[in-house]
Structure 1
Amino acid sequence: MKLKTALTVACLVGIALPAHADGDAEAGEKVFRKCKACHMIGEGAKPRVGPPLTGVVGAEVASNEDFKYSDAFMAKKEEGMVWSEDNLAAYLENPRDFIPGNKMSFAGLRKEEDRADVIAYLETFE
């Protein structure tokens, strides 16, 4: 009975995939231009005002050893927060609301499609 319940839940979760699962990486590269002033991505990326974002999808929050994170980010790291697609989408929508006290000055990406596209783009860099 437990296996049947677990399989049912797994199927329901799969059906309710978030919209960002369908993002367009090519479109996300264009949206990412807004991020380039503070973030680098790809081979050889280094910290700027913000940390490099290579491999960020699925990574633990505040995991780049070469970047000095805010206390707010370090608290999320202590909690074990991971940059899942859902967490990235929420953060990209409104960084200050999602992690109060963080230092990112960017207001966020209001369009769900833009967030999905940026996440798809980020996923191309492991």
Structure 2
Amino acid sequence: MNPQNLNRLSAAALLAALALGPAASAHPPEVKAAAPSESASLQGNDQASWIADPHIHAFYEVTVAAFAKGPAKVDVDAFEQKSFAIFREFGASRGMAPGAMQDHLKLIPRQVVQIAREDPKVLDSYGNFVAAIFGPQ
């Protein structure tokens, strides 16, 4: 597996853990293996609500703004802090402790930077961004 796909899977796995809620870390759900011709979602049945959520849209917008001057000029620390603020608000909106949401997603900002540096088309549209973070829809 190439590093780009591994990073996308890592990001998706982290988002999946969050989508399952706080209890997921204590008792991971049983995941049925997909048949070779099927695909499985790690986000569970709530993936569509995450994709439609204004906080995920805000995360996309912050990502696009961070890359506005080019991939080499991204202030990764500032981007990470802006992302964490969005994640805390997202957690509160979903009934989670804001700090717990930030902790669940703490690796995502730097992974997104790496993904977008490797494939700048990820930032061309929200649909491309969603495919990179959540997997193909």
TM over 0.5: no
TM-score scaled by structure 1? 0.33
**Higher alpha-carbon Rg:** 1
- Name the structure with the higher helix share: 2
